[in-house]
Amino acid sequence: MDYRVIKENDLFLLTDQMGNITKNHQYGLGLYTKDTRFLSGLNIKINGEDPILLASDADENYMATIRLTNPHIENEENLILWRESIEILRERFIYDGVLYETIKLKNYFPKRVDFTITVHMDVDFNDMFIVRGFQTGHVGKRSGQTIGEQSLVFKYMGADDIYRATNIAWDRPATLVTEEGQVEFHFSLDHEEVEEVVFTIQPQIGQEEPKAKLPVEIALSQLKDSYTKWEEQSTKVQTDHESLQRLINRGMNDLRVLLTNVGYGEFPVAGLPWFGVPFGRDSLIAALQMLPFNSSIAKGTLLTMAAYQGETLNSWRDEQPGKIMHEIRYGELANTNQIPFTPYYGTIDATPLFLILLTEYVKWTGDLKLVYRLENNIEKALMWIDEYGDRDGDLFLEYHQESSKGIANQGWKDSADSVVHRDGEYAKTPIALAEVQGYAYQAKVEVANLYEQIGKKEKAEKLRKEAVRLKEKFEQEFWMDDVLFYAIALDEHKKKVGTITSNPGHILFADMLNPEKVEHVANMLLSDKMFSGYGIRTMGKGEAGYNPMSYHDGSIWPHDNSMILLGLSKVGKQREANKVIEGLIDASAHFEYDRLPELFCGYSKTDGKPVKYPVACSPQAWAAGTPLTFIQTMLQLFPNSMKKQIVINPALLDSMNNLTVEHIQIGQGMLSVQVVKEKGEQVLKVLENSTGYKVVTSCRTVNCS
């Protein structure tokens, strides 16, 4: 990726590889919080010249290190600075709402040298939607600058009557400071002498004075401590499969950097750079992926989504009572109602996914207290499914955009061309998506199980009957005998949208299909038409709408594969699941930092290396969570607090010989297991089981606890 990004809570910095914020970059570089750009320009020069990049690294997620040096500088009469004399080391991190950047200068020239370092900064206070080019509108204006002894403040009064400011400070006297944001320092260094200057940049929203900043050493120490705590509280994985190990480590680190708390507990935002906000389906699915590794994130996600649950009928925001939001924005355009993201509710799947995450969370944790706490939210979500999600009373959930600035396609494939008939015509709304019917079925079945556990037997029975009717109707309306697969959707006329896609693969996790249909679905997903060798495509090769370079019509999305993997594992299709896992692991080796991106192109493995999608988010939450599902899938690990049992039937990849997973949080205790291959047979060793649940397996088991 040709950018560098660091994030902590809801403040993130996006720069080029030099560490600069330049104009007209395709990613809209800057320092952002609350959907506002608080720094739109940042670059350094040495003696008025651009430094030369030596190395640029953001491997640690929370800290970026950029190493630069000077070009050769001379005039007609004198040598000013010999090339590569000065090492310029930029180290930056974010903590407690402040960006810290240390610029270290070291002289490698044999003699003493004098030089200047100039840092130029600027702020446009643009709304994220303006930066992305999606929207123009009525906005506020800059209201001046204030220069202090070692500080500079840029000020802005928004059209929403909110004062914003960027407070910049540095820790050594400058030789020049201008209102245009230029700060200059003079250095005189002996051979191998080192000096530095530390900048702090702190966004401010509202007139209240920003809180005091910590010294850089203390801030960095506390940030590192938070990562250590995250590691200690999360499940540990060790395997002899080095590529998988790197993927797991990377995924956990990426998910940590994407965590945000808006007052209801930590949850994963969707991804950087564009989606560092609460995001219905993305946050819910990422939290679902994380359940075996850190279930507390699911709780924070559920409480956040419940806090923003729809209350009224509002067509501008596509809001209905009981509906779970799609996305919320906090910037100037949202605050002045120029965009409907306050929050925006145009999503058909977030509401059943909210219920699925809750029921899965309870299976893992046994936390019925959360069920009682969210009881009203559960009732409202179920009401929405029946009264608003099912627009015409045919049992299916359908979507239709009502907001003039909303989203037309409201499933996870939300691009305008993602639901297309076999003849190439785009389906028209209201549209009922296949996977959403599976989500609704799973939600009702699993909530029924919860209701029975808390004594609501009549409501439980009612939900089960509704689920049975939905399952029967789904089979009648979505199954296609000619291709032995399910349609992606029904269009406005209830006509099947017959294009072969990955969507029906999600239904496997719902456990909604009979064994014969499971076989057909698995066969299609693993066919050459759908499986590229690197992963399952979003759309089948050869379909009218197929395009391997597209966003949703032939590309490969890791999270899409992860939902299918959980389903394949749940229905016992482990051979097929492992084939997909191996493909995605192979693909990851070709991306920066061994990271699975948001998506990549759907070309076949026989065509060569995986092809990057040009503007994929990275890191991205549900892509980072995908490797975590590899572990659950290979273990075929499905706990159930209601039955007080843990089902586990491991099947390692052919290229693996051992897998150790420690401190999996289940119920009120921990499960630690090891799977090893011994004489061609896989042996499950239970190293620890303080859960109080029975381990149920068909594998040869050695209890080592």
Give me the pLDDT at residue 705, please.
Answer: 55
Give me the pLDDT at residue 411, please.
Answer: 98
Confidence of residue 601 (pLDDT cuts 50, 70, 90): very high
Give me the pLDDT at residue 704, please.
Answer: 66
Angle subtended at Cα 160 by Cα 157 and Cα 161, rounded to the nearest 5 degrees: 50
Average confidence score pLDDT of the chain: 95
CA 19 to chain centre: 23
User: What domains can be seen in the chain, in order of their start residue?
Assistant: 4-223 (2.70.98.40), 234-635 (1.50.10.10), 645-703 (no CATH)
Confidence of residue 273 (pLDDT cuts 50, 70, 90): confident
Q: Is the peptide bond before 614 cis (omega within 30 degrees of 0)?
A: no
Give me the pLDDT at residue 126, please.
Answer: 96
Confidence of residue 1 (pLDDT cuts 50, 70, 90): low
**210: Cβ contacts below 8 Å, ≥ 6 apart:** 97, 167, 202, 204
pLDDT at 106 > cutoff 70 = yes
Q: The tokens of 235 are what? A: 């499940």
Sequence letter at residue 238: Q
Average pLDDT over residues 276-293: 96
**647: Cβ contacts below 8 Å, ≥ 6 apart:** 636, 637, 638, 639, 640, 696, 697
Average pLDDT over residues 249-267: 95
Cα-based distances in Å from 378 to 320, 365, 460, 492, 648: 15, 18, 13, 29, 29
Convert the pLDDT of each residue in 530-584 to its tens digit.
999 999 999 999 999 999 999 999 999 999 999 999 999 999 999 999 999 999 9
Confidence of residue 187 (pLDDT cuts 50, 70, 90): very high
Convert the pLDDT of each residue in 409-429 to its tens digit.
999 999 999 999 999 999 999
Q: The tokens of 346 are what? A: 């145009």
Residue pointed to by tokens 């599902």 = 629
Give me the pLDDT at residue 328, please.
Answer: 96
Convert the pLDDT of each residue in 301-335 to its tens digit.
999 999 999 999 999 999 999 999 999 999 999 99
Convert the pLDDT of each residue in 498-509 to its tens digit.
999 999 999 999
Residue 598: CB atoms within 10 A of its CB come to 24
Q: The tokens of 264 are what? A: 């209801």
> What's the farthest any 2 CA atoms get from each other in the chain?
94
CA gap 578, 174 in Å, rounded: 59
CA gap 316, 312 in Å, rounded: 11
Give me the pLDDT at residue 618, please.
Answer: 80
Give me the pLDDT at residue 433, please.
Answer: 98
CA 460 to chain centre: 34
Average pLDDT over residues 227-238: 96
pLDDT at 60 > cutoff 80 = no
Average pLDDT over residues 361-370: 97
